[in-house]
Structures are given as C-alpha cells and as structure tokens.
Amino acid sequence: MSDFSPPQLERQLGMHAYLTASEGTGGTIKNEIEDFIVSEIPLLPAANERGNFVICRVTARNWETNRLVRELSRRLQIGRKRIGFAGTKDKRGLTSRYMSFEGVDEGVLRSIDIRDVDVEVVGRANRRLNLGDLWGNSFSITIRDCSYSGNRLAEVASAVISELKQTKGFPNFYGVQRFGSIRPNTHIVGRYIVKKDFRGAVHAYAGNPSGKENDEVRQARTLFDEGADADEVFSSMPDVMVFERILLSHLSEHPDDYAGALRRLPSNLLMMFVHALQASLFNEMISARIAEDLPLHLAVEGDIVLPINEHHLPDRGRLVSVSATNISAV
C-alpha cells in the first residue's frame, strides 16, 4: 500500500488507497475529446442475413449513450426499445460501440446524418444486442501535462510497471467517469433510489450544481435546490439537458410525484444510477482489501467468486463462496 493519498474527489468515490508506492507520472486525461478513445470488443449474436435486427458499429464524438439513443430513435422515428446496445460509454471521448436496430432498413441507417456520429452496418441477426454482449473494451488514453518528460518520465513509468508486475496486477477501480465526468454524482442518485427516497434522487440529479457546468445550467439547478416551482426551473433549464427537463416537466404537471418523474426516464439510465452505487461500493471494497494487505489477484477464505463461462467471461448465474475446503480449486 502506498503512502500517497488519492485526491478528495476519488476518495469520495471509494478510492482511498494506491497500491503502488512509486511516484506517479502526474498529468491529466480528457483535456481534448480525442484524448480518450474507446472501442468495444463485441460478442455479437449469430449472423443471419434474414434477421430482423440490423447490427451496426456506431462511432460517436462527445455523445453520452442515452442521449445518443434518444437522438437515433427520434431520427429513425422508432421507439427506444427497438435500439439495443452492449455497453454504455463516457460522453467525453471518441467512442465506438455496437448497436442493434429492430426492423429498420439498412439504407436508412447508412444515410442517417447526425453531427459527430458515424453509423456503419456490419450485419443482421435474429436478436437484439443487450447490455453485456461484449468481451470488453480497448482504450487509447492520452495523458497530458505530466510532471516529468523524456527519460525521467520513462523511468517513473517503468518503476510503476515493475511494481505492478510484482503485485500481479492493479486495483480495477471504477474511475471518475463511471459516476459522471463533469458532475460525478450518479452513485448518490442511485443511493437515494435504493433507499426509496425518490425526492432525494430527483433533487440530486436535477439540482446539485457543479462548478464545471456552464452558468445557465448551474443557475437552473440552483433554482431547483432553492425550492423554485418546477415550471420556472423547466423554463430556465437549457434544452440540451434532456433528462433533467423530463423530470421537471413531469413535476410541473404532477407536483411531488417524484417516483413518477423518475419512471419517465429511460430504464437503462435508472439502472445506471444503481450500477454507479454498486461501483462505489466495489471501490470501497478494493480500498479495504488494499488497506488490509489482502491480494487482489487471489481469492481468500470468505470471498465470493464467479466462475468463467465458455467465453471466458464471468458466469453471473453461479456464485461460489470460498472456504478452506475449496480454496485450492479456486
């Protein structure tokens, strides 16, 4: 465990410890959109030329997944449920992901014109893409403004890599982007939802301004926090804040119906809030494991592990509790 302490923001998200003791490279990521490039490694359904689902590779620049799906459904004039995807992606970056479109003409998909979005038809299948239909993601991340340069930078990076080889890996924390790059609070919304405090969830999402947002958005969020009528806040909230406006629109018609307002949001967005809470708890667990000097690459008694399936992915349907009798086989 390192003596270095993570920044306050990371600690708020459950990342309380560094594994390596070596000095880091310093620097920042995502200064530019192209500094963060991610491409899905797909696990596609079996190809079928007569299938009703068109499979596409969609490359987007600076598009959040739910807003992209909403825009695609609007342009294609189809319901959101006819669009499937394997994984959500960060907004700030150049992302390539696979999506399925039910009952949509291939020519229409090829001709769709959305700014900073490219749609490439790759085949057809008999079923939609669902969350988890991927092997993983590949990343190309540019780190700018490092603390060192040249040979010294290479030495620092090599020292970190050497430590990681000794520890057999690194803590797979969920990074800030899982919780919202500009306003990392999705786990807070998720906590309110799990506790059935729907008013708290709505206020955490539509209120709670961030200093990184523009003045217009901050002012609208502040109005909401200060108790202004939903109508007034709706009028102040910029059109681009689609999901905040959905919540406010519902509240303007049905005051105090916070549960109903949340139900107006896409189901996968609501799921994302709960997943963010799970991610923060996972980070807390990893931090505790580092603090107690427990291995990250080996199971210990009391752990719960998932066997891998034929695709070498976790089999979520099988939970194995590690004990003295089975630890040698884990």
Q: Which of 90, 113, 293, 315 is catalytic?
A: 90
Span 31-72, pLDDT tens digits: 999 999 999 999 999 999 999 999 999 999 999 898 999 999
* CATH pick for 33-137 out of 3.40.50.300, 3.40.50.10540, 3.40.50.970, 3.30.70.3160: 3.30.70.3160
Domain assignments of the chain as residue spans, ordered by start = 33-137, 179-269, 299-330
Classify residue 229 as exposed, middle or buried by CB count within 10 Å of its CB (0-12, 13-18, 19+): middle
pLDDT at position 120 over 70:
yes
CA-CA distance, 13 to 302, in Å (whole number)? Answer: 25
Span 262-281, pLDDT tens digits: 999 999 899 999 999 999 99
Overall average pLDDT of the 158-165 stretch: 90
Number of helices (H) and strands (E), helices first, in the chain? Answer: 11, 10
CA-CA distance, 329 to 322, in Å (whole number)? Answer: 9
Which among 25, 61, 30 has a CA at the least distance from the CA of 142? 30
* CATH pick for 179-269 out of 3.30.70.260, 1.10.3720.10, 1.20.1600.10, 1.10.1510.30: 1.10.1510.30
pLDDT at position 92 over 90:
no
Which among 177, 161, 174, 163 has a CA at the least distance from the CA of 15? 174
Overall average pLDDT of the 143-167 stretch: 93
Question: Does the annotation mark 90 as catalytic?
Answer: yes
